[in-house]
Homo-oligomer: A and B are copies of this chain.
Amino acid sequence: MKKACQHHHDLAPQDLSSLTSRLRRESRKITGPRAAILEILRHHPHPLTNREIFGELPKGECDLATIYRAMQMLEKLGMVKRFDFGDGAARYELMGEGDDGHHHHLICTQCDTVVEIEECFPAEIEQHIAAKNNFKAVTHRLEFFGICPACQK
């Protein structure tokens, strides 16, 4: 991946205090690195890789391993959602409290611009697939790829 990003909404989905109280609730410490990571996620509308988060942080702010550990923990607590764009690096997006964070993206294969998509795989078809194969608790992982307006020129 090279560049990327295209801010649709620069609004913070939730304030830091609400985030930190979620941590406290789980008896997790609010440390400098964690606050900094959450602060970055709060200001990014699209999924970030750990390395991207690392890059956004002031130089000595925190170790890359700490970010990996933090994201793992945040995912376990359901505070971030992990996405996989198929390039071998996990990406994370902050998610609201009640929200399960399930949604998809449209990614430009040339410049890596990301657009959040509201459409989803039709539930009836998914249920049909589950029923036909006798599977339970079926979900899906879905991302779209194409060429963005800018890269078509």
Contact = CB atoms under 8 A, between A and B. Distances in A.
Interface of A: 84, 86, 88, 106, 108, 115, 117, 119, 121-122, 125-126, 128-130, 133-149, 152
B136 A152 contact: yes
Quickly give the copy total for this chain.
2
A106 B129 contact: yes
Contacts of A115: 133, 135
25 contacts: A84-B86, A86-B141, A88-B88, A106-B133, A106-B135, A106-B138, A108-B135, A115-B133, A115-B135, A119-B125, A119-B129, A121-B121, A129-B144, A133-B149, A134-B152, A135-B144, A135-B146, A136-B146, A136-B152, A137-B146, A138-B144, A138-B145, A139-B144, A139-B146, A140-B143
